[in-house]
A and B are shown apart, each in its own frame.
Chain A
Amino acid sequence: MPTRRSFVVADAQEEGASAPMAEPMKQFLVHPIVPLHVGGLDLSITNSTVSMAVAAVILTGFFTLAFARPAVVPSRVQSVGELLYGLIDDLAHSIIGHSSASFFPLVFSLFGFIATMNLLGMFLVFTPTAQLAVTATLALLTILIVVVVGFWKNGFGFFKLFVPSGVPIALLPLMIPIEVISFLVRPLTLALRLFGNMLGGHVVLNIFGSFVVGLGLLGLAGGVATLGFFGSALALSSIVALIALEFIVAFLQAFVFAALTCVYLNDVVNLHSH
């Protein structure tokens, strides 16, 4: 997607647009900052790498700070840390049950990292989770862990996951392929959900921003066109509301990723007690 940038520019020039066209996809371009080629692989330090590193440092730093001097009566930073810990702990325990403790570090790391990356995208120019590569990697990692845990805990009984209980034998040849396909779709939906939310949010913000500028420039023409200022103010207040929504979505998508990881883990861990 990002390599088609020149196509979008040509688009605007071809149409003879008098106002500058919004190019919402330009903000997602990944460009190398420190070129680094090892063997045949391109391992450059890109703006994506830098934002993810910043997110990791902020996440680790925040929790180190929060629990540096733990007290029974928590300080403000510690209580925020405890709030997040409690949120994910309750979620994992309510979904997975007794064995949630062994999966808590995974779920919490996913939640924290994704939330930090999403929130960082609201403050920095670049959102790592608006890259399909990043979200697909996280989704694949999660599903691989689910499959490995499934085989480790159940051996070949893992395949009983695809045979729902209480189904008449005649329907099984229809049900099993459906179950297998819906299992294989899980990493796809995990990746696309996070990617689509982040991409859509930032594209909409960009487009509304271009409305503010475009309508304002139109309003400068005078006469009836001064209504353009009214439209510009409307677009500005819409952006404020949308940014508030984007902050909520940033946390919510991280929470949903973590919750779905718990649900998939529960499916394989508690295979025999559905």
Chain B
Amino acid sequence: MDVHAAKYIGAGLAMLGMIGAGIGLGTLFGNYLQGALRNPSAAAGERPMLFLGMALTEALGIFALVIAFIILFV
């Protein structure tokens, strides 16, 4: 197989890792919104934790992206 073709296929496969990150983010925000609807006054206090959790979960998806870039461009 051509090296360039393999690079593109590899990068595409590496991006499958973002599926988990997507599911995790959806769960996170969904639960936050559910809690916020039940208890609106407490929602503002938990917002920093929401952003922290979002960034931590997103980080794992970004690691997959970095691997895809390394495969594609290095």
Contacts from A to B (Cβ < 8 Å): 1, 4, 8, 11, 14-15, 24-25, 91, 94, 189, 192-193, 195-197, 199-200, 203, 252-253, 255-256, 259-260
Number of interface residues of B (CB under 8 A): 17
Contacts of B59 in A (CB 8 A): 189, 192-193, 196-197
Given A200-B65, A260-B56, 16 more pairs with CB closer than 8 A: A8-B73, A15-B4, A25-B73, A94-B48, A189-B59, A192-B59, A193-B59, A196-B62, A196-B65, A197-B58, A199-B66, A200-B66, A203-B69, A252-B51, A256-B51, A256-B56
Is B6 interfacial (CB-CB < 8 Å)?
no
Contacts of A197 in B (CB 8 A): 58-59, 62
Are the CB atoms of B74 and A4 closer together than 8 Å?
yes
Contacts of B73 in A (CB 8 A): 1, 4, 8, 24-25
Roughly how many angstroms separate A193 CA and B56 CA in the complex, as a whole number?
A: 8
Roughly how many angstroms separate A74 CA and B42 CA in the complex, as a whole number?
A: 29
B36 to chain A: closest CB distance in Å?
19
**Given known A1-B74, A196-B65, A199-B66, contact A11–B4 (CB-CB < 8 A):** yes
B41 to chain A: closest CB distance in Å?
17
Nearest-CB residue, chain A, relative to B73: A25
A130 to chain B: closest CB distance in Å?
11
Roughly how many angstroms separate A187 CA and B48 CA in the complex, as a whole number?
A: 22
A193 to chain B: closest CB distance in Å?
4
Contacts of B16 in A (CB 8 A): none
**Given known A25-B73, A189-B59, A256-B56, contact A195–B51 (CB-CB < 8 A):** no
Is B29 interfacial (CB-CB < 8 Å)?
no
Name the contact of B52 in the complex, choosing from A1, A199, A259 (C-beta under 8 A). Answer: A259
Is B70 interfacial (CB-CB < 8 Å)?
yes
Are the CB atoms of A200 and B74 closer together than 8 Å?
no
Are the CB atoms of B51 and A255 closer together than 8 Å?
yes
Contacts of B70 in A (CB 8 A): 1
B5 to chain A: closest CB distance in Å?
11
Are the CB atoms of A196 and B55 closer together than 8 Å?
no
A242 to chain B: closest CB distance in Å?
14
Which 7 residue pairs across A and B have the least CB separation, nearest first?
A: A196-B62, A256-B55, A193-B59, A196-B66, A200-B65, A25-B73, A259-B52
**Given known A1-B74, A189-B59, contact A195–B4 (CB-CB < 8 A):** no
Name the contact of A193 in the complex, choosing from B48, B51, B55, B74 (C-beta under 8 A). Answer: B55
Some 22 contacts from A to B, beta carbons below 8 A apart, are A8-B73, A11-B4, A15-B4, A25-B69, A25-B73, A91-B48, A94-B48, A192-B62, A192-B66, A193-B55, A196-B63, A196-B65, A197-B59, A199-B66, A200-B65, A200-B66, A203-B69, A252-B51, A252-B54, A259-B48, A259-B52, A260-B52
